[in-house]
Structure formats: C-alpha cells, structure tokens
A and B are shown apart, each in its own frame.
Chain A
Amino acid sequence: MEFSGVKRRKPRLVDNQKNACYPHSLQFYLQPPSENISLIEFENLAIDRVKLLKSVENLGVSHVKGTEQYQSKLEAELRKLKFSYRENLEDEYEPRRRDHISHFILRLAYCQSEDLRRWFIQQEMDLLRFRFSILPKDKVQSFLKDSHLQFEAISDGEKTLREQDLIASSPSLSAPSPTQLDLESVYKIPFADALDLFRGRKVYLENGFAYVPLRDIVAIILNDFRTKLSKALALTARSLPAVQSDERLQPLLNHLSHSYTGQDYSTQGNAGKISLDQIDSLSTKSFPPCMRQLHKALRENHHLRHGGRMQYGLFLKGIGLTLEQALQFWKQEFVRGKMDPDKFDKGYSYNIRHSFGKEGKRTDYTPYSCMKIILTNPPGQGDYHGCPFRHSDPELLRQKLESYRVSPAGMDQILDLVKGTHYQVACQKYFEMTHNVDDCGFSLSHPNQFFFESQRILSGGKDLKKESSQPDTPQAKQGVQKTKDASSALASLNSSLEVDVEELEELLQ
C-alpha cells in the first residue's frame, strides 16, 4: 500500500468490479489492500475504526452480547461511522472498502505490545461475531465457501439419520425440538478443527468428523480468526521498523493506540462562566472522582505536585476557568499553605500561563483524556493524580466511593467492572449512581465530558447546545486538498493531536 500526500484520482471502478472486490459485508481480512490512498484518508480511516472498536468494547461491557439492545446499538454505531455490517443494502462498496483498509491500518498500530494486541483481537472478534450473527442463512454458506473454509453442510437426509445423536451431543440444540434441527444447518468438519467443541464432548463425532450445528460453527470460525489474526500481528510487528521509518506515519502510528478521538474540550464557549466560589460545590456534584480527589487534596494540603497540577489545572481550564481565574485560584490555595506569594509568582505562575498557551511555544494545551490519565504517568507516593478506578487499591476505592455516598449495590457493580479493567465504564456507573439515572447516555472517555454531561443533567439539559455535537475528525473541516508535503500535512492535523504526540513522547522518554 502506498501513501501519497496528494489525493490521487483513483480509476473509477464499474459496479460489477466493485462488487467483486468485496462480495460480502464481512471478511476475515486475509488480503491486505493494494490501492493508494492519501495520508488524510489514512488517518481518518484509522481514527474512525478506533472509534468503532472502542464502541464495541463499551457496548460489550454495558450490555450482554447478543441481546436486542447490544445488537441494535452496535448496528447504529457501524452505520454512523459508515462501516459495513449488513448485506443487501445499497452502495455497499464504500463501507466495505473502508472496513478493509482501516483494519489493516490499525494492525500497524496495535501490533506493538501484548496488551494492545489482546485488546485489538478481542474487539475485532466481537465485531466479526456480530456481523456473522446478522448474516442471512442463505448467505452463510457462500460466505464460508468464499473464505475457503472447508465447512460442508450436510443434507437433510443425513441430518435425519443422526437426529438423536445430534440433539444429544450439542448443548445448543435443546431436546425435544426436532423442528429446530430441521431449520438449522449442520456442518461436517474434520474433528481436529473443532477442538474446543469435541474436547468437552459438546459435539457429535463420527468417523473422524464433527457434526457442528450452525451456532457452534461461529465459535470455530472465531477461534480460527483469532489464531490467524494473532499470527498476522506477530508478523506485522516484525516488519514494523520498515513502516515506522516512514516519517509521515511514525507519529500517527505511535499515538494512534493512545489517541483520544473525541472532543478535545480545549476551546470552550463557556470560558468565564464558572466562578471560583462555585468550584467546591461543583467538585462534589459534577466532577469525576479523579478531579474530585485532586480538588480535595489541594484544599487539604494547600499544595499539589506537578502531575496533579497538570491534570487538574487543565481540567479546570476545560470547564471554563480563564487564565486570570486560574492564577488566582492556585495562588490563593498555595498561599494558604504558607507559601510565599512571591515564590508562587516566580515558580508556579509561569507554568500556569504556559499551560494556557501564553508562554514559550504558545501551544494551548488540552485537558487530559481518560486514556491518557489511565495509561501514562501513574501516581506515586504523595501524588493524587491518575484515575482512582485504575490506580487506587480496591479497598481504598471502596472507602472513597462510600464517602461519596455510592450505594452498596452500585458499589459491587463498580468494583466488578474495575476487576475486569473496565475503568471508564466503572466511572460511567459512578456517574449513573450519583446522578440517579439508569443509563448515562454517553460513552465516557474524558473527564471534561463527565463534567459537561453532569451539568447538562443538573441544569435540565437546556443550554450548552453547541458543545453537544462532537466535531467530525479534524479533516472534515478542511476543504479540497491542495498539494502538501508530508510534514505540513501532519501539521494541518488538529493541534490537539499534535500536542498529544509531543507530550506523550516526553512522558514516554
């Protein structure tokens, strides 16, 4: 696959050719794409797929997979992001193409560590499982055939011959319901290909073949997919140095897996709408636990160390504090801690001004996303920053949440989610408990988002309309692409992304 700074005109494909490229709404991603695309499209596709996979993850923990709710929400997400999901829709070429290319781009980013690989494989499997589940029965066979899987459906006669044995062997076929068996296809595959089924005696074996009902075939297909994808990622990791040496791609790939892909909460139309004396009450009503704990620590100790100042300070900027307010806020508190006002001016105010973009290279730093807080700069002794769900010992977390008046039932759910490393979903649960709603209605990925949504509920949801729509990826605002060289193409990315990269690279030094 080649990357060019120029958006080249692709030869227009005729409809038949298009359909031949992607005969199905889903695939196993066995062949990498071979067209040229622009850097811009490269990045957009990647970002969109990250959004998709994160939704897949979120939906997977907030709903039982396979239920009506889960299925419809996931379908909506796919439709929104314009990826393929269903057969027999119109204009399926473009969504399938986007799906194909974006998958392979993400392999480059997510092959780099064991954790990233595991996450990527898990979400891609869930996605595949969903798409397979909505395949119409008549399409299943042709899909399997086109994917070169040797799954042969047996004839009705052969089914009837073995009816009793099939029902007795497969947990998914409940007896007595011969009619269910009539409707469902049964596939004959070599026994070694059905390891997970036959080892637990969950399938009928005869003469070296496993007779697998359709719903169990899914398990086999997913296992096969996982094995192949795992191997592919290992291979990709090996050839990564060659890819990374392309300067245009290196920064993008490096931060893609850590990237926050939603609103950056940097420019707020509500700057100045918060007054300093509101902060204490806001901290208990609308702050996420990470910021609530930082605020409390600041009030109690009249001091915060660098990590805490950065995380909390930028958050405050995001909720609307102006530079003047920020300077006043911090100085007031530090002076209470017997700090010399002059010392504050000399040592600390510069940093605050710097974070507002008024010093040095004048980049307007953006408040940290959840990903950033969870993944980087873990707190040490004497620190209060980080994510409590990630960084607090479960017992301490429990105590903290109890002091925040979380109910025992909610507490258990939250702690379970924490155990399953679903930190942001745990925080969502916390939001739901403290705001008395069943479903917070958003997928939490940023502390300022927590604040914004909380304020929305508490104020009856009337104002703040212009912040409510998430902007499309930065490039959507760009007009027609002019010829640019690689570095300026990257520079034209939203400044927040660029900043993230630098900060991240600093932190990872």
Chain B
Amino acid sequence: METFDPAELPELLKLYYRRLFPYAQYYRWLNYGGVVKNYFQHREFSFTLKDDIYIRYQSFNNQSDLEKEMQKMNPYKIDIGAVYSHRPNQHNTVKLGAFQAQEKELVFDIDMTDYDDVRRCCSSADICSKCWTLMTMAIHIIDRALKEDFGFKHRLWVYSGRRGVHCWVCDESVRKLSSAVRSGIVEYLSLVKGGQDVKKKVHLSEKIHPFVRKSINIIERDFERYALVDQDILGNKESWDKILALVPETMHDKLQQNFQKDHNSLQRWEHLKKAISKYQSNNKNDKCGPWLEWEIMLQYCFPRLDVNVSKGINHLLKSPFSVHPKTGRISVPIDLQKVDQFDPFTVPTISSICHELDAITTNEDEKENGAESDIKRRTRDYKKTSLAPFVKVFEQFLENLDKSRKGELLKKSDLQKDF
C-alpha cells in the first residue's frame, strides 16, 4: 500500500473529490427519499479546510451543488450536523431564536483512548490488532441492543479513520428523538462508570438485566483470546495488581502466592475464578456483590460511550467517506455481517486509492477512445479501486432504507385508500 504523506493531501483530495467520492449514494442517503421537503437543504455540514480553517453552517441545494462546493473548497474534514428549521447557510437572516436544530440521526462514537486504563499494548491514538478486538466487541454489544432491545432497523457503522468507530442510527422515528431520550439510551447502554480516580468501575446489582446478561455472553466469546492471551491482563505483577484492586482485600494474599507460581494469565484467571466463588459462598451480603467475575470482565471489555456525542441534536460528527487528515484512511462503512474480520489496517488510504485510480486510468486510456462521458466514467471510477466493497456496504444500507420507506408509504396510502 502506498504510504500516506499528509503534505500531499491538497492534491490527493482534489482527485478524491473529483473522481472518487460517492456523491450519488451520499445524496441518496441524506435526502431520505425526498419525502420531507427541504430535508437535505436544511442539513448542516461543516468543513475543515487547510490550515485548520473551520467553517460551520454549510448547506446545499442538491447533489450537484454539494459536489461543486466540495470540489471548490477541498475540505480536509467533513462533519455532518442536524437538520435545521431553516437553511443553515442563511441562519444569520433568521429572527433570533427561530433557527433551531430539529432532527438528526442518533449517533455513537466509540474511541479507543477511553480504554487506556485497561489496554496494555497501546495508548492514546495508537491502535493495534491486539486491542482492536475491543471495537469488535463494542460493535456486537451495542448493535445487538440497538436492534433487539430498541428495535432500530437502520444502523450504519463506520470506521472513524484512526482509533474508533461511529454508529449512525437513521430510522425516521429515531431522527426525531429528543435530547432527553438520547441521553436515556446512552445511559441504558452504559456500565463502566468513573474516571481516573475510581478503581472499580463496574458494579452489578443482584438482579442482572437481560441487556447485561446478553452483553456478557458476547464478551465471553472473545475473553480468553483477547484478555488472557493478547492483552495478557494477568501477565505480570503490575498488571495483576490492577485486577486485585477490584476484589476484596482478604483474597489478596492467597492470590499473590498462587499468581507467583502460575505461568500465564490463563492459569491465574482460573485461580482467580476459584477464589472468587469460594469467597462469595462464604460472604453473602458483603460489600462485594455476587457477580465479581463478570464485573472484572466488563471493566476490561465493555464499550465506553461518550454521552455528549449522542445526546445533542446539533452535535457534529465526522462524515462517512471523509478522509482522516493524520492517517489518510477513508472513513468507510463496516459490513455488519463481517465485523469480526474487519481489519482497520487494510482500510484504503486516500493515497492508495488515488494511486490505484491513476494506474487504471492510464490502462483504460490506452484501450478506449475516450467516447464515454465524464460522469459515466466517474461513476465507475471508485468501483475500480479498493473503495468499491465499502461503497457496496453503503448501498446495501441505502437499499434497506428505501425498502422501509416504500413500506411506510404503502401503509399510509392504504390507510388513505389512495391507489
């Protein structure tokens, strides 16, 4: 793969926005079938330009307008905001207080930095294949809840380009949800509480809610490989001390002894489990609840959400198919059928796909006589690059949205007896 050089961004972006960005599909998404008048026209976009120039309240009349502007401004970053009561680019002409954010997808942002206290391989903006499992587990857990508990049908998961994933929930009713309900949903999905000053971040009550139980089932599938092998959370004294901090003191001495004798995390985990179950049968109604083993697993594996991203209707979030200025990676949709196989290190970078495009174009020019129109060629351009499969995932998502919409319209017209 071509190495990415941020200095080349202006040139690369020019090519990307002219020949690779999937405008048709993008517009198809945000237009939502054109059912609601001006839905697309009232949508806020924000652009970050070269030299960190940030402009908000961008809005466009239609797909062609969007294309022209993006090609003109060549944004380094594109964010999507809310659908407002008026065209965002005219918000200054609106009477004070009348310009309001009205609808937006429900979004989630899961960021690897939030797990720094429980991953040993990397920290801060770095990721590797060992800790990426955290994202995989997070997607499984959150997506299951959004689908089965909340009944949300149209969920788009996107790789953020560097160290995390985003989820866009696009159901019609969801776009209308209030800030309070969005907060409530994040609260429902939260189990890990507390910052640096809190050692034990997960406390389970006597009764285990089905959401918690199902989440643990998901974690259990990967726990041994992820935590005990890859992360090696009981691998040395420094790391097992952290775990001992989560269990009652009376267990510490015996466990320290056993841990010294054991050879690896797997053995130590076995000892830990035995000690826990012994403790629990002897100490009912103590400060420690009946689910200690699960509490440790959850603290090390359960998703950590940022409520601020999700609760605000006017919150701006990085757009799918945007480029990450530091890594060059494209924010690509993730195929829910193949979450476990998703590898962030094979996600195409802008330089690689531009390079691919160059190579192909040269070949084609040699073969054909340039009779095709520019647009036609462009619509096939991304298909010839590694971007293609990701656009396909996006198209499948759009198909589902269309189907739902048709179904709703049919229902409504049946009720009105329009034939």
Contacts and interface: CB of A to CB of B under 8 A. Distances in A.
Contacts of A207: 148-149, 151
Interface of A: 165, 168-169, 171, 175, 191-192, 195, 198-201, 204-209
B210 A192 contact: no
A198 B190 CA distance: 12
Nearest to A173: B207
A348 B148 CA distance: 80
Contacts, number: 47
Interface in B233-271: none
Nearest to A162: B210
Contact of B151 (A195, A201, A208): A208
A223 to B, nearest CB: 11
Nearest to B145: A205
B207 A168 contact: yes
A175 B206 CA distance: 11
Interface of B: 148-152, 177, 180-181, 183-185, 187-188, 207-213
B148 A204 contact: no
A198 B151 contact: no
Nearest to A203: B209
Contact of A168 (B152, B183, B213): B213
A171 B209 CA distance: 10
Given A168-B210, A169-B209, A171-B207, A199 B184 contact: yes
Contact of A201 (B148, B150, B177, B188): B188
Given A205-B149, A208-B150, A195 B180 contact: yes
A204 B210 CA distance: 7
A191 B150 contact: yes
A324 to B, nearest CB: 66
B177 A209 contact: no
27 contacts: A165-B210, A168-B208, A168-B209, A168-B210, A168-B213, A191-B151, A192-B177, A192-B181, A195-B180, A195-B181, A199-B183, A199-B184, A200-B187, A200-B188, A201-B188, A201-B209, A201-B211, A201-B212, A204-B210, A205-B149, A205-B188, A205-B211, A206-B149, A207-B148, A207-B151, A208-B150, A208-B151
B151 A209 contact: yes
A166 to B, nearest CB: 9
Contacts of A200: 187-188
Given A168-B208, A175-B207, A199 B149 contact: no
Contacts of A198: 184, 188
Contacts of A199: 183-185, 187-188
Nearest to B207: A168
Nearest to B209: A201
B61 to A, nearest CB: 33
Contacts of A205: 149-150, 188, 211
Given A195-B180, A201-B211, 10 more contacts: A168-B207, A168-B208, A171-B207, A195-B181, A204-B210, A205-B188, A206-B148, A206-B151, A207-B149, A209-B151
Contacts of A195: 180-181, 184
The CB with the most chain B CB atoms within 10 A, among A165, A171, A195, is that of A195
A200 B213 CA distance: 15
Most buried by B among A171, A201, A209: A201
In the A-B complex, the 10 residue pairs with the smallest Cβ-Cβ separation, listed nearest first, are A208-B151, A199-B184, A205-B149, A207-B151, A199-B187, A201-B209, A165-B210, A195-B184, A192-B181, A169-B209
Contacts of B150: 191, 205, 208
Contacts of B181: 192, 195
Contacts of B177: 192
B170 to A, nearest CB: 15
Nearest to A205: B149
Contacts of B183: 199
Contacts of A204: 209-210
A200 to B, nearest CB: 7
Nearest to B191: A201
A484 to B, nearest CB: 49
Contacts of B151: 191, 206-209
B177 to A, nearest CB: 7
Contacts of B211: 201, 205
A233 to B, nearest CB: 20
Contacts of A191: 150-151
A169 B187 contact: no
A192 B212 CA distance: 20
Contact of B210 (A169, A171, A208, A209): A169
A205 B148 CA distance: 8
B104 to A, nearest CB: 16
Nearest to B176: A192
Contacts of B184: 195, 198-199
A205 B212 CA distance: 12
A246 to B, nearest CB: 33
A204 B213 CA distance: 12
